[in-house]
Structure 1
């Protein structure tokens, strides 16, 4: 492999202006200028962003299905599957809880809502009524029942990530149990996966257009001035998320033998895409592809990344406790330690219950506040105007958290090509067709 890598690095680099990273960066800048100076025109660009996200969502279900089925079939035994799932969920539970606690601590120390002195009676509950209604629909029973699809193939057409995971794992386990008789089916899936990832490469060509449209709409609709009054809250959230990524996840990466900054640099194009579209789903296919190219085993990537998109929402968890306490402070609502512990426990459940729902961060916050009556749900109207800007930070933090989880779980499983990881994160180019020792 050393010879291949050396030969690859000798190849001339593509011009910077042809890189996805540069094109998306320029598109976001142009979108911001357009939205700021010509807001009506910026708002009119919304279909470009929506259209790109729809294109990506179109391809997510088959990518998850094919990756998981071929990955599990390649593992050859159920013990390996259980090991990956167990370690992944252990990781998700620990760091999701840590993110909730960090948000709680920062909110108590910084007090971003202090001094607002808002009377809850003056707030308009209708402004957040639609979110509260959706929150009531996300009960634990409803969440579990929603995982079961209507038919075996309906998840592939409806795009529900949890249902796709359920069917994919069920199919992969069936392939393991059947053994050699499933080989023709697995071979077809492997061939189909090559086609699907080529489609991803084609779709990524229009990513700058999607980022331009989405960002122009955000700035045109809400304006940079809308965050001035709540700048302290927004700034606190961004700073807290940065601490979580650089300090907490940075320490995790260091303990597992790699740098979080190099990982972020490796994923910079995808992160800009997430920033531009305010959706981590827009970069899900590319993340899975890059994690495999960086040395993570295909079965681990197929299980950890899609599952993490529903259960490892670090940015959303920080937001929930921080925003909840902001509302309490802004409305002069006194919360005891018992109330805050209850808030933490409820948030641990509600963050999973609304997984995959559009506007999940705001909806999970509504679901959490509904169970903690001391905090007025109508207080969410205070942050409705800046939620879009915080949504971008939530998505970025969630994205980085899932990338780190994928590498860490791969290492725990002994299925991480560390030599390849260090070369890729170090900026060395790898031949597209080159396989690493854990891929098959």
Structure 2
């Protein structure tokens, strides 16, 4: 079915104003307009459930859901009602609030492998605090990180990416990589830097890759044997794989874990959790030199903690993880069926964990392609579907999924024409999307 592109005139005007005031035109690189077809980057006015409306009045079924932060749906009433109620009782005080007690108890009840927790406002602060604790606990300086996309905006991690301008070489040298699902690569790191590795960071699972049998158990044993602190990044997996994250699913307990995103259903909250003997290095129950650990003004403000408690209650009384799985499985099956029917599976595919789906786009040679991705994104937008992925929420209805499957079907004729031509030339307007983390502004320089 042919679709005319909706108007994005107002969104484009607002986006241009943002670029004049905000570096990159967004407060998160993944939200940038360079991640969308040129002239087709909606600026959002409001959201409800799994749908959003932009500044031009266009309505979309949304995926990605706040960079995977929203699992219950936009403006989820029990969370909003709880937050509305707490606003009349104050937000931030000179001393801890009773909410800090209740929220900590809630957290530790759903993450039974952790003894203590400390709340913050963003995931990078939590992961950096975990590294600081690990260095203090071990007296070592280096960190080994799995070959996964992202752990922190801070120097210790970003220095290991291609977007490392402004980070000293000695800082960059302190972070080394190992292969996920490859214990031998981590053994090689320990052998190359004996007595130097303070911590090992990994996502226990990702949307595209699950741990092979024995990998997480081997990771646990190896870190214990080598005296390194094992840290699981549960930013994405927490409240999406299970309430208690991937460690609940796979039964392997790290020394420390870091949390964020879905724990507040979009409200700002993150957490560092872990073993008492390590966490107390930032407390008062220690004789060691104290770690300055997550001393944040806004970490315990009442809105974020109230949202978190309402999220926990929703997970206790309903089954968001199961709802996401069922909807994701239905979407993947339906989308891949229409792709198969069109004979296009070599070029387009919906893949990954059902609660964290992505779509893969390849060119006529079968190679991953940003140009073809951009073409596909544009066709989805024309059909009222917005998203850099198909990361779903519990609010996605059968109607939302059906619309998305139809949008995929409607995108395939144009995509197929590009495959036949061996090029997107004449079909793709403007420059292709570009990776969010890249060393230069090109190919989407303003």
TM-score normalised over the length of structure 2: 0.24
Structure number with the higher strand fraction is 2
Higher relative contact order structure (alpha carbons within 8 Å, sequence separation ≥ 6): 1
TM-score normalised over the length of structure 1: 0.24
Structure number with the higher helix fraction is 1
